[in-house]
Amino acid sequence: MNITDEEKKAVYKTIYNRRDTRGEFKSDDIDDEVISRILDAAHHAPSVGFMQPWDFVVVKNKEVKEKIKDGFQVAHDEAKEMFDDTRKDVYKTLKLEGITEAPIGICITCDRSRTGDVVIGRTANMEMDLYSSVCAVQTLWLAARAENLGVGWVSIIHHDTLKEVLNIPEHIVPIAYLCIGKVDFFHDKPELEKAGWLPRLPLEQLVHYDSWENKK
């Protein structure tokens, strides 16, 4: 199946305009069809040994979102104390999640025992199934961006909290909790770049040739 030049441009446009959305969510509902499309796209991510280790918990219930938000608050309060004084002041001003504002949340997990103990491609690197679920996250994120939906990854929450709130079984590993919704706008650059927290690194600084010490 050939991808045309126009189609290629669309893929790059989507990659470059994907953002981590926190403050721009609108409360408008998302059509179930759209949710199904982005979930099905995620389900077509690569997986080690075709294991498809992911599950998706779609959260629409207000009380459930509020419990997730409480869990964020606990981890956020802990985090504040970890930064030095200058960074702490900036950190406190940042909007880092849109859990209750976004119409839906999706928790993506990894079932490490889904296809038995021995998995093709996981034999030397046991983390490969976790990485497969991360590939599903990024695939869902790009599909959602193509639907003009914002996605925000809430990583400031203890995974035990996610398991408790969403009744996730003991043997299942939460990978990501994503907030998803229509947005007022997409930022033109990552917010932490705009806020001067960190600059975008020059690509050439990160590329090596045949051996780590060889750069152009």
Minimum Å gap between C-beta 212 and a second copy is 4
Q: What is the DSSP string of 101-161?
A: TSSEEEEEEEETTTT-S--TT-SS-TTHHHHHHHHHHHHHHHHHHHTT-EEEE--SS-HHH
Minimum Å gap between C-beta 5 and a second copy is 10
Q: Which is nearer to a second copy, 25 or 141 (CB)?
A: 141
Taking the C-alpha atoms of residue 34 and residue 201, their distance in angstroms, rounded to an integer, is: 35
Q: Which is nearer to a second copy, 100 or 147 (CB)?
A: 147
Residue type, 140: L
Minimum Å gap between C-beta 23 and a second copy is 15
DSSP state of 50: G
Taking the C-alpha atoms of residue 163 and residue 173, their distance in angstroms, rounded to an integer, is: 8
CB within 8 A of 56, min separation 6: which ones?
39, 42, 106, 107, 108, 109
Q: Which is nearer to a second copy, 101 or 149 (CB)?
A: 149
Minimum Å gap between C-beta 80 and a second copy is 9
CB atoms under 10 Å from CB of 93, counted, come to 7
Minimum Å gap between C-beta 57 and a second copy is 4
Q: Which is nearer to a second copy, 27 or 92 (CB)?
A: 92
Minimum Å gap between C-beta 101 and a second copy is 17
In the chain, the N- to C-terminal Cα span, in Å, equals: 35
Q: Which is nearer to a second copy, 102 or 175 (CB)?
A: 175
Q: 170 is written with which tokens?
A: 């003991």
Q: Which is nearer to a second copy, 26 or 207 (CB)?
A: 207
